[in-house]
Amino acid sequence: MNKIEAVIFDWAGTTVDFGCFAPVNVFVDIFKNAGIEVTMAEAREPMGMLKIDHIRAMLSMPRISTLWEEKNGRKFTEQDVVELYAEFEHALLSSLSQYTDPIPEVIETVELLRKEGLKIGSTTGYTNSMMEVVVPNAFKKGYGPDFYITADETNSLGRPFPYMIFRNMEKFKLSSVRNVIKVGDTISDIKEGVHAGVWSVGVIVGSSEMGLSEKEYDMLSLDEKTAVINKTKQAFIENGADFTIETMGELPKIITEINRQLSKKEPMLHGK
């Protein structure tokens, strides 16, 4: 079959939790509790990764690493990572249900894709225990994929490794990466799609990469919105995105374009 058969979505910042604020706030808090002030930009940079990998990545950032050494008199250890992650997990689980509202246009777009016969898959940087909170709460509000998987089930090999995407393909019995789209809101999402060899699409408004709440975004002037949209789009494209969309409502026309290319047996025009 020479057309798109499945779309694999990320969760926070893509389909739920506009701006991906649930984990970001907790990352800032746990480092503050450890005596280190991190910026929102630092907390967002590794977003999309498995959360323990995210903490490890933050501790490896030169500025944060230096502050850690100054405060503790030594470099960070794996035990530090484990302890920070335990605190992170506890705090996130207690607040996560509040960050499960579907992002505008997601429910309608998914419904449209299902009517076209597409499978709706998903991957995430959350763990199984976190998804046990997110999935039922999002479902009550109208969003639910046909399948979800976490890195708990891929030997903790989360993004940017491609294995969660391959497990979606296995579940749906899909024969080719050419017929699959990955949609996400972080650089890790884009790289996950690129590494899997599927079509990689970055969604801009509501994304962690943009980093604004819905209220903050709505308060921007038209020129300011254009500037942040262009900046986010450029970051996705520089990291290998085949397409970007401002909002989820644009996804069907992207699928139509990819299907046109596939039907003509044109080469995959990655980066176009």
Q: pLDDT per residue over 139-165, tens digit each? A: 999 999 999 999 999 999 999 999 999
pTM of the predicted model as reported, rounded to 2 decimal places: 0.92
For 32, the token pair is 């503050």
Q: Taking a C-beta distance cutoff of 8 angstroms, is the pair 207, 190 a contact?
A: no
Q: Which of the residues are catalytic?
A: 10, 51
State mean pLDDT over 160-178.
97
CA separation for the pair 104, 13 (Å, rounded): 11
Query: What pLDDT, in 10s, does the model give residues 200-249?
Result: 999 999 999 999 999 999 999 999 999 999 999 999 999 999 999 999 99
Mention the CATH class of domain 21-98.
mainly alpha
Binding-site members are: 10, 12, 185
Q: Taking a C-beta distance cutoff of 8 angstroms, is the pair 157, 165 a contact?
A: no
For 124, the token pair is 């995430």
User: Quick one: what percent of the chain has pLDDT higher than 70?
Assistant: 97
**pLDDT(272) > 50:** no
Using the CB atoms, write b or e for 200-237: b if 16+ within 10 Å. bbbbbbbbbbbbbeeeebeeeeeeebeebbeebbebbb
Q: Where are the domains of the chain?
A: 6-20+100-263, 21-98
State mean pLDDT over 169-179.
97
Mean pLDDT rounded to a whole number for the chain: 95
Helix 62-72 crosses helix 51-60 at what angle (to 10 degrees)?
80
The conformation of residue 149, written as its DSSP 8-state character, comes to B
CA separation for the pair 14, 248 (Å, rounded): 8
Mention the CATH class of domain 6-20+100-263.
alpha beta
Binding-site members for Mg(2+) are: 10, 12, 185
**pLDDT(98) > 60:** yes
Q: Determine the pLDDT at residue 2.
A: 87
CA separation for the pair 181, 242 (Å, rounded): 10
Residue type, 207: S
